[in-house]
Amino acid sequence: MTQQPKRRLKNWLKTLGNYVEETESAREFWLWSGLFTLCASMQRKVWLPFGIEPLFPNMYILLVAPPGKARKALPISLCKRLLEAVKVPVSVDSMSKRALTKELAASSTLGFFEYEGKPRQQTSLAIISKELSSLLAVDPKGMIEILTDLYDCHDTWTYKLKEENDSLFNICVSCFLGSTPKWIAENLPEIAMGAGLSSRITMIMGYDKYKRITLPPIPPEKIYEDLIYDLGIISTLVGEFKWEPSAYALYDKWYQELDRKYQEVKDDRLHPFLERIHVMVLKTTMALRVAYSNELIMVVDDIGRSIDLLEQVLNTASDALAGQGRSRTSVDIERILTQIRMAKKISFSEILTLNHWHTNKSELQEVLDTLVAMKSIKPTDYTKDGDTLYEWNPKKKEEKK
């Protein structure tokens, strides 16, 4: 094994956190931006034995927040800059299915590396876009189908041209995207749920800014240079991960108890993701490890943290999907619940004033009755004019967690 250069940083992820401290973006957005960057930088050069087919560290990550609330754009744009700096192939923001196959073909010509004295080829690509809507703008059905298929890192993937078929080898595609609950509810086709794309996406919900910063300072250039330097080293790692016995024991115990999660996770839209959450735990563990070590070992502390992180995702993913579904009132329910949560207590007439262009009096009463039945809100009192006051029920949120 080739001797790796000495790193400058003790932990790449922690240093990234320090570098972006004076930004408004939600901390969970920065954490998953860092995890994605580490995984995408490893490409298909690193893997974990996993039965018949090895597991590669590609991720599909979607940052979700209302417009401007949690500043999702900056973590996505910095990730792109970092990966481009270490020569990881990165795609354009908007494309068709055919354009994506062309980009993959171009990346395959750059994807040679050496393992055990022999050359290997890979077709690696990081698809990064601040808006999911941009990625799906040209060919939504085609893009959903191809991204669902490519997640599994095929050894050989054949696509049809006008006159013939062509093939790509050793695929490794990663996706890092942003969206809003409203856009997902109103635009994400049912096919995205039914065809399995949603089960492959880890949805990170952001509720608010980390803090308000009137004029963000320019962070130290030296830290940025160190991040790129160490990421360059990480991008040259080659080989398979091994298991520390205690790490495997923890993972095995957690995995064997996963079925009980179906009773805990009431939102059945998340059940397909539950079937793949163990894979995301393993990929996240790989990223946590290479953040501080060149030794490809699955250790117990990293497995434990990965499990915690993915279970936190489960606690908030329903909010990311918001009103995505078939109910005609689903979008209104999520919007009005957010308004009541922010106001803490608000009258019927105030809610109607905020939403009169979306709903009428009788439809609003139906929405409020639904939220009361869900125990998400509760009617608490009346105004002097006999107007009902509604209050957010924080206990509902605590039960969910």
Q: Is residue 159 one of the residues assigned to a domain? A: yes
In contact, 122 and 172? CB cutoff 8 Å: yes
User: What does the pLDDT read at residue 6?
Assistant: 93
Residue 198 CA to residue 144 CA, distance in Å, equals 10
User: What does the pLDDT read at residue 400?
Assistant: 44
Residue 148 CA to residue 374 CA, distance in Å, equals 33
User: What does the pLDDT read at residue 359?
Assistant: 84
- At residue 127, φ and ψ (nearest 5 deg) are -95, 115
User: What does the pLDDT read at residue 194?
Assistant: 47
Which of the listed residues 321, 350, 379 is the one where a domain comes to its end? 321
Residue 35 CA to residue 48 CA, distance in Å, equals 17
Residue 209 CA to residue 23 CA, distance in Å, equals 9
Question: 139 and 230: one domain?
Answer: yes
Question: 268 and 359: one domain?
Answer: no
3-state SS record for 106-161: HHHCCCEEEECCEEEECEEEEEEECCHHHHCCCCHHHHHHHHHHHCCCCCEEEEEC
Question: 105 and 250: one domain?
Answer: yes
> What are 151-168's pLDDT values in tens digits?
999 999 887 766 667 788
In contact, 160 and 98? CB cutoff 8 Å: no
Question: 315 and 336: one domain?
Answer: no
**CATH number reported for the structural domain that contains residue 76 in this entry:** 3.40.50.300
Residue 180 CA to residue 197 CA, distance in Å, equals 17
User: What does the pLDDT read at residue 17?
Assistant: 97
> What are 288-306's pLDDT values in tens digits?
999 999 999 999 999 999 9
Q: What is the pLDDT along the chain (401 residues), one digit of tens a residue?
A: 467 789 999 999 999 999 999 999 999 999 999 999 999 999 999 999 999 999 999 999 999 998 889 999 999 999 999 999 999 999 977 777 888 888 888 887 777 888 888 888 899 999 999 998 888 887 888 888 889 999 999 999 887 766 667 788 999 999 999 999 888 877 765 555 545 888 899 999 999 999 999 999 999 999 999 999 999 999 999 999 999 999 999 999 999 999 888 888 877 788 888 899 999 999 999 999 999 999 999 999 999 999 999 999 998 888 887 654 545 576 788 788 888 988 889 999 999 998 887 888 888 998 898 899 888 899 988 877 888 999 988 765 444 44
Residue 394 CA to residue 60 CA, distance in Å, equals 31
User: What does the pLDDT read at residue 164?
Assistant: 63
User: What does the pLDDT read at residue 189?
Assistant: 58
Question: 301 and 338: one domain?
Answer: no
User: What does the pLDDT read at residue 341?
Assistant: 86
Question: 354 and 300: one domain?
Answer: no
Residue 133 CA to residue 150 CA, distance in Å, equals 19
Containing structural domain, residue 199: 12-321
Residue 239 CA to residue 44 CA, distance in Å, equals 9
The number of distinct structural domains making up the chain is 2
Q: Which of 100, 80, 245 is nearest to 159 (CA)?
A: 100
Note the pTM of the prediction, 2 decimals.
Answer: 0.81
Q: Where are the beta strands (DSSP E) in 46-111?
A: 46-47, 60-64
Which of the listed residues 286, 321, 356 is the one where a domain comes to its end? 321
Q: Is residue 6 one of the residues assigned to a domain? A: no
Question: 296 and 383: one domain?
Answer: no
Q: Is residue 7 one of the residues assigned to a domain? A: no
Question: 361 and 303: one domain?
Answer: no
In contact, 232 and 4? CB cutoff 8 Å: no
In contact, 239 and 1? CB cutoff 8 Å: yes
Which of the listed residues 321, 348, 381 is the one where a domain comes to its end? 321
Question: 291 and 374: one domain?
Answer: no
Number of Cβ atoms within 10 Å of the Cβ of 268: 9
